Amino acid sequence: MQTLIQDIDILTPEAQASCETVKVSVETSTGKARKLYIESYGCQMNFSDSEIVASIMHEGGFDTTASEENADLIFLNTCAIRDNAEQKIRHRLQHLNGLKKRKPSLMIGVLGCMAERLKIKLIEEEKVVDLVAGPDAYRDLPNLVSEVDGGQKAMNVFLSRDETYADIAPVRLNSNGVSAFVSIMRGCDNMCSFCVVPFTRGRERSRNPHSIVDEVKDLFAKGYREVTLLGQNVDSYLWSSNPDVISILGEKKAVKQGADLTGVEIINFANLLEMVAQVSPLVRVRYSTSHPKDMTDDVLHVMAKYDNICKYIHLPAQSGNSRILELMNRGYTRETYLDRIRAIREILGNDCGISMDLIAGFCTETDAEHQDTLSLMQEVKYDFGYMFYYSERPNTPAEKRLKDDISLEVKKKRLAEIIALQMEHSLERNRLDVGKTFKVLIEGTSKRSEDQHMGRNTANKVVIFPRSDKHQKGDYVMVKVYDCSAATLFGELV
Ligand code: SAH
Ligand code: SF4
Ligand code: F3S
């Protein structure tokens, strides 16, 4: 239990899929000569990237397979966010070493954030690895594979300032055919002191909004009914038809400095959200992740205006104490964070789902400061959360400037307290839903029983209800909730 605690990141099994768990690829048989097995770790951005990789590799002569035994090529799309994320990959590589001994022609590639962080070291330290590619190098994968075919090890870890893979139609690997991830931006410019992402994913850049809308239209035509727009900080999404003006200055500064913006199309996140919501009222729109320092009331008003934009916000807090937030370089205080919560409640009401990320035991955190995190949770009453203890990452600002001085024991104790309190709050929040009727989008069969359907309501709560032959996945149904646990609502069709 103790050693596993960092893996209890979230409360619902369905949502668990979005955090450091593995997703493997599906079978696509279009008669290509070779087979790729791809496994994704980490956040939704990685799952979304694997779909881009599958598309690029398809052009490069590979179908995907759901079985590692059948594969000619295995890609692990990796995460570097916490040490245990990387340990998982090391273990997988050991296992793959055994597989490769039995099948020497097998090629093994490591992609994603751990690849970008470790670069050549990964090839030096893990003999089984043939190929290393960072998040901005995926177009180069077919060439890298050819190099390995020619008997060499291959690597490309260049980060780009403008790569968004906007023109690549993802092969939907992880999908239930109802919901899909759509990347709207890449990279991150925030430099939170604990975080590796700015180093593994490079500078922030926003994808052309018209290509985003086209992708959503295409998904709708193929029967999809829910899209999740993805970015590390969606609130700083900003695209302009004249990139020189905006990418250098930012919209506000450009206006302030009197740059000539006539005829220049400028799209911020509120604008983009509205464009996507207008694709069809039948397509639900979700997004992740919001940043408390950048979330505007405009975004909340657009959410209120459209029924099909889900009333759910993931608003990571990281800590409830302003001194710790400052050390984390998060760009907000406890008070300004709570002001954003107030805005959500005012504009979207008490039913809007709110979730968080929290880190226990960051450098120099005192017991009193940890209590501030618990009291922040009491004030907000989150619906659920992803909770971690601090894991120092090499070369981050925190590693360079601060001391990781909280013992593992204390970190784990604080985390356990945070998780226990969140369990209480999740149950309390779910109880408020008992007796209410929700519009639920059916995502499939419940994992626990063939006789039950599983879907979610607008607030991102998992709802389980008896299946009826009249309905199938992708349908909207009205469900009245009669009971709940901390993780799930149980209901009947009405
Ligand atoms: N862009 C998102 C977060 C992406 S990483 C945001 O700004 O909120 C997902 C979560 O992992 C973070 O919110 C944070 O809670 C956690 N995390 C990141 N680095 C960590 C570290 N070094 N140790 C423990 N948790 C970390
Ligand atoms: Fe990391 Fe901060 Fe960027 Fe999130 S906003 S990805 S925590 S640097
Ligand atoms: Fe992990 Fe990279 Fe995502 S470090 S959390 S896979 S951006």
Same domain membership, residue 222 and residue 102: no
Same domain membership, residue 120 and residue 40: yes
* 199 CB within 6 A, ligand 1: no
Domain residue limits at 481: 437-493
Which of the listed residues 100, 125, 156 is the one where a domain comes to its end? 156
Dist. CA 459 → ligand 1 center (Å): 22
Residue 249 lies in a domain: no
Same domain membership, residue 458 and residue 371: no
Q: Locate the ligand 3 atom nearest the alpha carbon of residue 114 and give its number.
A: 4
Residue of 136, 132, 196 lying closest to 165 (CA atoms)? 136
Same domain membership, residue 377 and residue 278: yes
Binned at pLDDT 50, 70 and 90, residue 72 comes out as very high
Relative to the alpha carbon of 362, which ligand is closest? 1
Relative to the alpha carbon of 231, which ligand is closest? 1
Residue 455 lies in a domain: yes
- Atom 2, ligand 2: residue with shortest CA distance: 192
pLDDT cut 70: percent of the chain above it? 91
Q: How many domains does the chain have?
A: 3
Checking if the pLDDT of 207 tops 90, the result is yes
Same domain membership, residue 449 and residue 420: no
Dist. CA 63 → ligand 3 center (Å): 25
What global pTM score does this model have? 0.93
Dist. CA 42 → ligand 3 center (Å): 5
pLDDT of residue 456: 97
Q: Locate the ligand 3 atom nearest the alpha carbon of residue 41 and give its number.
A: 6
Residue 172 lies in a domain: no
Checking if the pLDDT of 318 tops 90, the result is yes
Same domain membership, residue 202 and residue 135: no
* Average pLDDT estimate for 138-148: 98
Same domain membership, residue 453 and residue 413: no
Relative to the alpha carbon of 79, which ligand is closest? 3
Same domain membership, residue 349 and residue 472: no
Average pLDDT of the chain to the nearest whole number:
92
Checking if the pLDDT of 49 tops 50, the result is yes
Residue 61 lies in a domain: yes
- Atom 4, ligand 2: residue with shortest CA distance: 232
Checking if the pLDDT of 12 tops 90, the result is no
Q: Which is more confidently placed, 266 or 369?
A: 369
Q: Which is more confidently placed, 175 or 4?
A: 175
Q: Which is more confidently placed, 150 or 254?
A: 150
According to DSSP H, which parts of 361-465 are helical? 367-380, 397-401, 408-431
Give the model confidence (pLDDT) of 409-434 as tens digits: 999 999 999 999 999 999 999 999 99
CA distance 493 to 483: 13
Residue 82 lies in a domain: yes
Binned at pLDDT 50, 70 and 90, residue 19 comes out as very low
pLDDT of residue 479: 98
Which of the listed residues 431, 458, 481 is the one where a domain comes to its end? 431
Side chain identity, residue 271: N
Checking if the pLDDT of 370 tops 50, the result is yes
Residue 110 lies in a domain: yes
Q: Locate the ligand 3 atom nearest the alpha carbon of residue 85 and give its number.
A: 1
DSSP string, 201-248: H-S-EEPPHHHHHHHHHHHHHTT--EEEEE-TTGGG-EEESSHHHHHH
CATH code at position 461: 2.40.50.140
Give the model confidence (pLDDT) of 278-289 as tens digits: 999 999 999 999
Same domain membership, residue 353 and residue 331: yes
Which of the listed residues 379, 413, 431 is the one where a domain comes to its end? 431
Same domain membership, residue 184 and residue 283: yes
* 328 CB within 6 A, ligand 1: no
pLDDT of residue 7: 31
Q: Are 50 and 11 in contact (CB under 8 A)?
A: no
pLDDT of residue 240: 87
* 425 CB within 6 A, ligand 1: no
- Spatial CB neighbours of 318, under 8 Å, sequence gap ≥ 6: 192, 324, 325, 328, 330, 357, 358, 359, 362
Same domain membership, residue 288 and residue 414: yes
* Average pLDDT estimate for 239-253: 68
pLDDT of residue 330: 98
Q: Locate the ligand 1 atom nearest the alpha carbon of residue 192 and give its number.
A: 7
CA distance 181 to 234: 14
CATH code at position 44: 3.40.50.12160
* 318 CB within 6 A, ligand 1: yes
Residue 337 lies in a domain: yes
Same domain membership, residue 447 and residue 374: no
Dist. CA 42 → ligand 2 center (Å): 14
Q: Greatest CA span in the chain, whole angstroms?
A: 66
pLDDT cut 90: percent of the chain above it? 86
CATH code at position 419: 3.80.30.20
* 195 CB within 6 A, ligand 1: yes
Name the residue of 43, 190, 319 whose CB sits within 8 Å of the most ligand 2 atoms, as the mutation to test its pocket. Answer: 190
Checking if the pLDDT of 9 tops 60, the result is no
Dist. CA 113 → ligand 3 center (Å): 6
pLDDT of residue 322: 98
* Average pLDDT estimate for 312-325: 98
Residue 164 lies in a domain: no
The neighbour count for residue 382, using CB atoms within 10 Å, is 21
According to DSSP H, which parts of 17-135 are helical? 44-59, 83-102, 112-118, 120-125
Q: Locate the ligand 2 atom nearest the alpha carbon of residue 189 and give its number.
A: 3
